[in-house]
Amino acid sequence: MMGQRLVSSLLSRCLYASHRILNPLTRQERKLGLATRISQRFSTLTAIEDPVTPPVEVKYTKLLINGQFVDAASGKTFPTLDPRTGEVIAHVAEGDSVDIDCAVKAARKAFDEGPWPKMTAYERSRILFKFADLIDEHNDELAALESWDNGKPFEQSAKEEVPLLSRTIRYYAGWADKIHGLIVPGDGAHHVQVLREPIGVAGQIIPWNFPLVMFAWKVGPALACGNTVVLKPAEQTPLTALYAAALLHEAGLPDGVLNVVSGFGPTAGSALAGHMEVDKIAFTGSTGAGKIIQELAAKSNLKSVTLELGGKSPFIVMDDANVDQAVELAHSALFHNQGQCCCAGSRTFVHERVYDEFVEKAKARALKRVVGDPFKQGVEQGPQIDEEQFSKILEYITSGIDSGATLVAGGGRAGNKGFYIQPTVFSDVKDEMTIAQEEIFGPVQTILKFKNLNEVIQRANASPYGLAAGVFTNNLNNANTLMRALRVGTVWINCYNLLDAAIPFGGYKMSGIGREKGMDSLNSYLQVKAVITPLENHAWL
């Protein structure tokens, strides 16, 4: 029961601590709540309008097992909610351990007996390329579903994320017929082959913040290598994974190769991670949930594990930087996707010589950020994913005020419906504050001051996380020093959030194990086998 509770609370979410309140409040203010008081003092936008009707129909709400959309064995469903209102979009089949077992058996049969791993690599690539074409044809439907279920701006979904889904699938389609082994010289009269084989059945658990992009990062390399897949989408955002899977079958994917089981952590996620017939598990989510996934994998069959986990990424602004450009880039690095990014630049370190100017301009930029219905043109920020995450973020804001940071913008709820939060900026943040240590996963920028290069390197690395970092400088020596000194998986210099399909992504320390994207991700879905054969009357060695 303890493990189930942990999985339930951690899987597919970043859940964090609660805090106390700094500024002395009257009893009436305590009754009203700190968020209301802050909202009245730091309002950054007008009330949220009535929601726009999404231009899409929900077509798929059942589990996809062995090529068929089916009800859960239990007959249960669960609601997926519109973050703009908290109202139900649709009821989705609630898979559990029984459904996971059925899906794994279908994937195992498809791998052991089916055509996918036996198909020529060229034929596999043709199916993946056709899938990418279908994604392009259905761009707006996928984007609308993504924004409806997740709350992110439609323009972001339609112009950035669905095209990235298509591009990533094409990238791995191109790799399918280029995965090969080696002939290596031995010390004796032997023919030595090194084969690279598909690992088998891959279990994959994707998060709610970028459902379609994570679908591509997981499914693309797994299928290109000839594996079969059981995918569990986050319970908050199951709709686009089901839609994309339907398109993949329309492209010609054989039955059983990709199975999608929607459900919850204790009943579906843990069953997948601990299944004895699953050869590999890949998970994106919180560090706490990643530890549970790794434990379940170890206690079952020691399956291979890839983990892409949390972060508290530094964004470093040197004193030679163009402040206006640095402010805009730092703003994007933190507030993109409502701040719900594992690699968000959530610790903004600014050199003391430009600190005051930076803070004032960061405040002004946050106050200009357009918050509203994600289907309305020009909106930069939609609602947070759900009430739980919404409440956690407000608790972090409370903690920041309590610990002595200066609230310079935002700080409360936006509007009176849905899960919208004002773009929030804190200055005078210290390393020991909770808001500087823990992953907030929301639109809260924390700005810290530093004096010199060595100091900021030490402070930036003083974190259990090591996913990414940003550096803004015109000094090549500073850039070279920082890119090597920062213990993170990705360093963006004078840019941020560039996540091309070919660029590997993953973290140091507690930010994960292994890499997503690029050719490095293929290794996670391949086994290496050495084959040695004696040679007689050999012509050469």
Q: Is 153 helix (H, G, I), strand (E, B) or coil?
A: coil
How far is it, in rounded angstroms, from Cα 91 to Cα 511?
Answer: 33
Beta partners for residue 492, in sequence order: 470
Question: Cβ distance 443 to 424 under 8 Å?
Answer: yes
* Residue 457 CA: distances (Å) to CA of 31, 227, 323, 363, 487: 43, 41, 20, 25, 9
The active-site residue out of 308, 380, 439, 516 is 308
Q: Which two tokens stand for residue 525?
A: 């879905």
Q: Is 104 helix (H, G, I), strand (E, B) or coil?
A: helix
Neighbours of 62 (CB within 10 A): 17
Neighbours of 480 (CB within 10 A): 12
Taking Cα atoms as reference points, which of 39, 86, 147 lies closest to residue 421?
Answer: 39
Catalytic, 49? Answer no
Which H or E run contains 532? strand 526-534
475 CB burial (10 A radius; 0-12, 13-18, 19+): middle
DSSP letters for 311-376: ---EEEE-TTS-HHHHHHHHHHHHHGGGG--TT---EEEEETTTHHHHHHHHHHHHHH--BS-TTS
72 CB burial (10 A radius; 0-12, 13-18, 19+): buried
Q: Which two tokens stand for residue 496?
A: 């941020």
CB half-sphere exposure, 336, CA atoms < 13 A: 20
The maximal CA–CA distance of the chain, rounded, in angstroms, is: 95
How far is it, in rounded angstroms, from Cα 504 to Cα 483?
Answer: 16
Which H or E run contains 123? helix 121-137
Q: Is 449 helix (H, G, I), strand (E, B) or coil?
A: strand
Angle at the Cα of 467 from the Cα atoms of 464 and 472, rounded to 5 degrees: 110
Catalytic (active-site) positions: 308
